[in-house]
Structure 1
Amino acid sequence: MKVLITGSNGLLGQHLITLLSKDDRYEVIATGRGPNRLPQQEGYIYEPVNLRENGSVQQLFQKYKPDAVIHAGAMAQVDECEKNKDACWDTNVGATRYLVHAAESCNAFFLLLSTDFVFDGLEGSYGEEDPVNPINYYGSSKVAAERLVKNSKLASWAVVRTVLVYGIAADPKRSNMITWVKNNLEQGKKIKVVDDQWRTPTLVQDLAEGCQLIVDKKANGFFNICGKDKLTPYDMAIQTAEYFKLDVNLIEKVGSSSFSQPAKRPAKTGLTIDKAASELGFQPHTFAEGLEIVATELAL
């Protein structure tokens, strides 16, 4: 099976390549903007493509004719999306439109990565069928992308919604909740962490495996692929400090109103994974187990 992965230089893209390229069932074609920035350069084909250019997307599909597409490329910095709405729309909606049309032409299975930020966060623990109501521009762009996929002429498709993905990227400059807490506390710095937002944080390896399960089954429709623990960022920070035996007294519990951010954040999201568990056999790690995996990778 030829699988095209967009956003291959990103955290999820990197782990998808690692997972699929070692499996002989897949021929992996990876694409991103600019040069390939991953340390693993073998076992897959890399093509630099600007997905915001329709002609470039069409040429990519004509060249490789993929059987499946995992569209992980996106503009996902929430505040940046709020400040640069045109770039956000072009990247998250325009590029998805071009990819969907190209996938239609070669009858490819299409998987779109989306987010819990399609919800307003008033209720929390959302299922796949709950109505969307984004409160920031990033969420709005992802709702529009989801609708493009759902209303397309694709023979089979899936939308994967996920939450607060964490893990180790090849680029040491890329931070995540665990490394941010660890690095600051090791330097003796005090940090402020919100305790009035709830998420189901997702280990990147679990998300990659969930995507693989969907592609293998060509499972159709919406799927929540995330962690099983519902935590606040403060909970995550405390668990991280305790795991690495760092000073929890350096962590200050604050409300989200204490931060001035361009984009609103939904208070209570978190996604239920009953459908993924029953239809795909998806079983994610606990956050405590995820901490161990990240710690092992940091030690390598």
Structure 2
Amino acid sequence: MMKVLITGSNGLLGQYLVQRLAGNPDYDVIATGRGPNRLRMKEGYTYESVNLADEAAVKGLVDRHKPDAIVHAAAMTQADDCERNKDSCWMANVTATRSLLQGAEKAGSFFLFLSTDFVFDGLAGPYQEDDPVNPVNYYGASKAAAERIVKQAKIPWAIARTVLVYGVADDPRRSNIISWVKSNLEQKKKIKVVVDQWRTPTLVQDLAEGCRLIIDKKAEGVFHLSGKDMLTPYDMAEKVADYLELDKKLFEKVDASSFRQPAQRPAKTGFVIDKAERELGFEPHSFESGLKIVVEQLTGK
């Protein structure tokens, strides 16, 4: 049995990682998050509240459980929040990673760090694992800095980068592009949708499975885990409207520059996932089939 410590378990990926691993007798799961456990599924794992900004608490947590593997999914991920609150961003994304790694080195744990397409500048997507990083915002810079720390670790490590993760969260306050389009169009509201950014959106279930494959194989190095389909937000919105037979005339095509956002966004990221397919057996859903899964979860049908 593999003992796995998951940080950020109240987040979207954390939720699906807990579900994916805790339901399997091969894993002993310790889930950690800030504050109380907010997941609907309460059985089959241990939950501990931990403040990742508290270095002693983080090291104590790892020392107490001595996990075989750590999946570090906790992060401050909203790019605009990171731009406005740089100290908080650095603490959450870099300092916490360093503390956790120090604990992992002492315990001899395999360490999987979750990263982002925002480490790239978006001038030459889709990207492969060894393409040079060049972030255009503070969120991307914090993740790139944390990656550098992970790569210097004295234990086996992996970095899983991902792109625009979508899925249904237990936390009803969290929306995703599918639920956002669905609710607005159902209410006959007009929405502005960006046409000049490209991504390879990732179904959260696929990302959770990719992480499981990495820790199972103790696969070391950097892996790109995302969907295969290169789409703009407008393309995604259009597919949602078509699938749900809602009115596409409510869309207004806009350039990203029409939004006043503190953080710059890379224009074209997206990933080449050949390495993950070849070395891990990673097989993501198409956006259409991911959309179907999400709509069924949202509607209960």
| Residue matched to 1:151 | 152
Q: Deviations over 1:222-258 (max 9, x none)?
A: 0000001000000000000111111000011110111
1:80 and 1:159 map into 2 onto residues whose CA distance is 23
Q: Deviations over 1:237-286 (max 9, x none)?
A: 00001111110000111101111000000000001100000001101000
* Structure 1 residue 107 displacement after superposition: 0.5
1:145 and 1:62 map into 2 onto residues whose CA distance is 21
* Structure 1 residue 68 displacement after superposition: 0.2
Question: 1:283-298 residue pairs with structure 2 within 5 A?
Answer: 283-298=283-298
2:27 and 2:283 map into 1 onto residues whose CA distance is 23
1:201 and 1:21 map into 2 onto residues whose CA distance is 26
| Residue matched to 2:103 | 102
| Residue matched to 1:81 | 82
| Residue matched to 2:183 | 183
| Residue matched to 1:113 | 114
| Residue matched to 1:231 | 231
| Residue matched to 2:42 | 41
Identical amino acids, percent of aligned pairs: 66
Q: Deviations over 1:78-136 (max 9, x none)?
A: 00000000000000000000000000001100000000000000011000000000000
Runs (4 or more) in structure 1 with deviation over 6 Å come to none
1:62 and 1:274 map into 2 onto residues whose CA distance is 36
**Unmatched runs of 5 consecutive residues or more in structure 1:** none
* Structure 1 residue 58 displacement after superposition: 1.4
**Unmatched runs of 5 consecutive residues or more in structure 2:** none
| CA RMSD, Structure 1 to Structure 2 (Å) | 0.5
1:141 and 1:236 map into 2 onto residues whose CA distance is 28
Please give the TM-score of this superposition, normalised by the length of structure 1.
0.99
SS at match of 2:115: strand
1:61 and 1:199 map into 2 onto residues whose CA distance is 35
Equivalent residue letter for 2:232: T
| Residue matched to 1:9 | 10
Equivalent residue letter for 2:19: T
In the alignment, structure 1 residue 60 sits paired with structure 2 residue 61: yes
Equivalent residue letter for 1:132: V
SS at match of 2:252: strand
| Residue matched to 1:257 | 257
* Structure 1 residue 162 displacement after superposition: 0.1
SS at match of 2:298: helix
Question: 1:109-148 residue pairs with structure 2 within 5 A?
Answer: 109-148=110-149
Number of residue pairs aligned between Structure 1 and Structure 2: 299
Question: 1:187-226 residue pairs with structure 2 within 5 A?
Answer: 187-226=187-226
* Structure 1 residue 62 displacement after superposition: 1.7
* Structure 1 residue 152 displacement after superposition: 1.5
SS at match of 2:93: helix
Equivalent residue letter for 2:14: G
SS at match of 2:173: coil
1:288 and 1:201 map into 2 onto residues whose CA distance is 11
SS at match of 2:276: helix
1:275 and 1:183 map into 2 onto residues whose CA distance is 37
1:152 and 1:298 map into 2 onto residues whose CA distance is 41
| Residue matched to 1:71 | 72
SS at match of 2:132: coil
SS at match of 1:171: coil
SS at match of 1:114: strand
| Residue matched to 1:282 | 282
2:170 and 2:294 map into 1 onto residues whose CA distance is 13
2:276 and 2:7 map into 1 onto residues whose CA distance is 23
1:100 and 1:45 map into 2 onto residues whose CA distance is 21
1:216 and 1:152 map into 2 onto residues whose CA distance is 19
1:245 and 1:16 map into 2 onto residues whose CA distance is 32
1:142 and 1:217 map into 2 onto residues whose CA distance is 24
* Structure 1 residue 299 displacement after superposition: 2.1
